[in-house]
Amino acid sequence: MSIIQAIILGIVQGITEFLPISSSGHLVIFQEILGMDMDGTVTFEVILHVGTLLAVIAVYFKDVIMLIREGIGLVFDCIKLMVQTITSSKEKISLVRTEDRKLTVMVIVASIPTAFAGLILEDLLTAHLMQLFTVGIALLVTATILLYTDKVGKGKKQVRKATYGDAFIIGLFQSVAITPGITRSGSTIFGGLLRGFDKEFAIRFSFLCFLPAVGGAALLKFFDLSMVDIQTNGAAYLSGLIASAIVGFICIKTLLVMLKKNKFHYFAYYCYAAGLAAIVWDLFVR
């Protein structure tokens, strides 16, 4: 892989991971256009996802620190609760006593259906749906979701009024996005808005759910990384990582502005065009 190809794919990853137009679908399209065969290796895919993780961490750094702190605190409180149960202690321990802790638990709940889909269904979907035609169909579905996002009623829910049921349903929306061509960010934001979330909270929760979903997937693939591949393509892979991180950071900021201004339908028009183009390319050009 050349440095130019890696940078192009890094830019594509950074744009499509966060703007609601599907990163997995666009990587399939661009690999087809660039004539690249990436079957058999997950190394570059993991590296690109590390780049986008860095972008989310940069934008939501305080929230990331909070999730780590509250996650560790939750583990210790669970241990204390078990010890209390064993010793019949009368000391009261509340596992969820602050809004930060509640938000942390909500992210965990939302990650359950995503983890199930990723572990059980991802290989099956990858084998059957990583085709240009099916990606095109999925992009049309994404476009329809985005078209209705701006029309969802204005919600007011913040952490205090949100429920774990809301979080689980948003996790179901996120799990559908393992299908190449279905947007993860658009699906989760749409799910949050349907559950009455405030717009800013919907997008914040969407990106916090991104961290365990993509971070966990990258971690599972860690042992499949090829060190020979990394040594051979080190400069190209580093270039792709930097490109995906920088572009991803810019796109998160852009998405925040466009959601506030009810401009998601612009992405819908693009996805309709990209989906139709992918279908035409598959049927009549390739």
For every one of its 286 residues, what pLDDT tens digit does the chain have, with 9 covering 90 and above? 788 888 988 898 888 888 888 877 877 777 777 666 554 456 777 788 889 999 999 999 999 999 999 999 999 988 888 888 788 777 777 788 899 999 999 999 999 998 888 777 666 666 555 678 888 999 999 999 988 887 886 788 999 999 999 999 999 999 888 888 888 888 999 999 999 999 889 989 999 999 988 888 777 776 666 676 677 777 888 998 999 999 999 999 988 888 778 888 889 999 999 999 989 988 887 6
pTM of the model: 0.85
CA distances from 186 to 10, 128, 183 (A): 20, 23, 5
Share of the chain above pLDDT 90, in %: 39
